[in-house]
Structure 1
Amino acid sequence: MANPSNFQITPRAAIMESNELNFRSLYLFHTSLGANQTQSTVIDPNATTGLGQTAVNNWAICDSPSPGATVVARAQGLHIYAGNWQNTFSITFEVERYVRI
């Protein structure tokens, strides 16, 4: 199981205050097909350009890359295709010991 000290939070000052999150030994999983989907398209892409596809996600963040890994958090948000995928999500921890802010 991952050690909760395997991540660090670095305050950063820019136009607005933000934090840089650096996680080690945590793995993000997403499933777009099948019965256990963790993302879903809500806006189809433009038929000519492919741009604009938008999907919502509830991706699992686990403590190992193995199939039996424990879900410790969720990446909940959306992603939009605009030539490259742009992702925005909140990390919602489900395991209390990982919440150290």
Structure 2
Amino acid sequence: MLAELFWVTLVTGVSAAVVIWVFAARLALRLAGARQAGPLGWVLAVLWPFGARQTAGASAETATMLNKMMVAFFIAILVAIASMAVYSNLTFVPPVRTQ
């Protein structure tokens, strides 16, 4: 039963990280569109949206929101990794000793 709980926690952590990434990318793309970024700016906004908080056109509210999204993203990743570790420990079957 505990192994299934951590399987659910793993899926929840990964899906939360994906959702946070999408929200941050949408905000970064909106910011890139507002400052007339070139093609490289659009690609960077999708690949690492949390870097958009350091641009000159970012307001304090946008930078704060992206900082909070970055913290939430890394927490979601840590929850997923911890769930994988606990799941592997709960389902570990030691090898049979032979002599």
TM-score range, shorter-chain basis? Answer: under 0.3
Structure number with the bigger relative contact order (C-alpha 8 A, sep ≥ 6) is 2
Q: Which has the higher helix share?
A: 2
